[in-house]
Structure 1
Amino acid sequence: MELTEAMRTVGTCRYFETTPVPDDVLHQAFDVARFGPQGGNRQPVRWIVVRDAARKQALADLYLPMWKAYLAAVGAGTVNVGALPKTVQDADHFAEHLAQVPAIVVACAEIDGLHPTDTELDRVSVVGGASIYPTVQNFCLALRDQGVGSAVTTLLCHHEPAVSELLDIPAGVLTAAHIAIGYPAKGFPRKLTRSPVEDIVAAETFGRPYFTTAAV
């Protein structure tokens, strides 16, 4: 598959077939993913593939109450997700059926391999993720290239102690994302809705548009 097409159609898959994803497909995806950019080539990312029905159910049992609370807040208007009702409906279906996906891949990272430089700023720290999430995106793109869908969620990171106990994750290793994977039941998106380049790229200073007309 051509790279640009994969990037434009990887999307978030919320409806999965029950067909297992073969180990050789996973191996190929992990093999490609490991070349994601990372600070100092420390290679902090580690993966856990969860196929066992009981473990998937345990993860789903942690996930669903958090999602339902979030969904209730959306319904009450206290949280504005800016998403279409259909998207919220799809996300609810995903949450209700998380235990049935073929596999849940847990993206972990060795904390000693991260070097966040923003921990003293008066805001949430995000820099450490720069050595993690490019590798996660590589994984999703490599799956897309092989016809496998994925859905990345960070909601379960709230329950990291429980997840660590369930999956025997040692001290010094954090959870960065949980990725549901499987063959898509409804195919891949043909067109994803994203903000135009003109709205998100600035020239020299924030808020000064770099592009004033759409590129041909």
Structure 2
Amino acid sequence: MELSEAMRSTGTCRYFSDKHVSDDVLRQAFDDARFGPQGGNRQPVRWVVVRDDATKKRLAELYLPYWEAYYAAVQEGSKAVGAVPKTVESANEFARHLGEVPVMIVVCAELDGLHPTDHELGRLSVVGGASIYPTVQNLTLALREQGVASALTTLLCAEEPAVKELLHIPDGYLTAAHIAVGYPRDGFPRKLTRTPVEDIVFRDSFDTPMFA
């Protein structure tokens, strides 16, 4: 598979088949993912693969109240979203069946391996994620190459203490994301909708489009 094709078809999968995802498939994906860039080559990312049904069910139980609050706000009109109604409804279906996905992967990161340089700017600090999320994206692409789909969510990070206790994640580590993994029930998307290049790239100044 060409890299461009993989990037253009690795969308969020919310409907999975019950086909088993083998350990060999996961190992190959993790083996590729670990080459993602990170600050100082500190390699802070760790993964917890959850197959146990009871554990997946508990993670889903922790997740659902956060989704329900968001979904209710969308329904009431108090939460503005860019997603089309069909996407919101598929996300709602996903949330209510999260415990049934073939595999859940919890993304952890060692705090001492992160180097945020923006925590004193008086706004949300995001730079630490630069040592985490490129590796996560590598994983989703490596899974896609093998015909396996994924859905990345961060809602469950709000329940980090409970998740850490459930999965015996030691002190000094945070949870950065949760990834549902499985073979897609309905195949991969043929066309993902994204903002065109003309609207997101600028030359020399933010008010000068590069590809007008």
Whole-angstrom CA distance in 2 between matches of 1:175 and 1:122 = 23
Deviations 1:105-156 (A, max 9, x none): 0010000000000000111000000000000000000000000000000000
Report the equivalent of 2:88. 88
Q: Report the CA distance between 1:44 and its aligned residue.
A: 0.3
Question: Which residue of the partner structure matches residue 210 of structure 1?
Answer: 210
**What SS does structure 2 have at the residue aligned with 1:177?**
strand
Corresponding residue for residue 38 of structure 1? 38
1:19: how far off?
Answer: 1.4
Equivalence for 2:13: 13
State the alpha-carbon separation in 2 of the partners of residues 111 and 186 from structure 1: 38
Once the two structures are aligned, what percentage of the paired residues are identical? Answer: 70
1:173 is aligned to: 173
Bigger mean CA offset, 126-135 vs 198-207: 198-207
- 2:146: which partner in 1? 146
Instruction: Give the Cα–Cα distance (whole angstroms) in 2 for the partners of residues 149 and 54 of structure 1.
Output: 22
Flag structure 1 segments of 5+ consecutive residues without an equivalent.
Answer: none
The amino acid that maps onto 2:185 is: A
Shift of the alpha carbon at 1:42?
Answer: 0.3
Structure 2: segments with no counterpart, 5+ residues: none
Aligned residue in 2 for 1:117 = 117
User: What is the CA–CA distance in structure 1 between the aligned matches of 2:152 and 2:83, rounded to whole Å?
Assistant: 17
For residue 94 of structure 2, what is the amino acid of its counterpart? F
Matched residues in 1 for 2:20 and 2:176: separation?
24
- What residue in structure 2 maps to residue 66 of structure 1? 66
Using the size of structure 1 for normalisation, the TM-score is 0.97
1:82 Cα deviation from its structure 2 partner: 1.0
One-letter identity of the residue aligned with 1:28: Q
Structure-2 residue corresponding to 1:184: 184
Aligned residue type for 1:145: E
Return the alpha-carbon distance in structure 2 between the equivalents of residues 207 and 149 of structure 1. Answer: 37
SS at match of 2:184: coil
The CA deviation at 1:196 is 0.3
SS at match of 1:43: coil
What is the rounded CA distance, in whole Å, between the counterparts of 2:35 and 2:170 in structure 1? 24
Give, in angstroms, the shift of residue 65 of structure 1: 1.0
For the aligned residue pairs, the C-alpha RMSD in angstroms reads 0.5
Alignment correspondent of 2:4 = 4
Q: Which amino acid aligns with 2:7?
A: M
SS in 2 for 1:6: helix
What code does the residue aligned with 2:186 have? K
Q: TM-score, normalised by structure 2?
A: 0.99
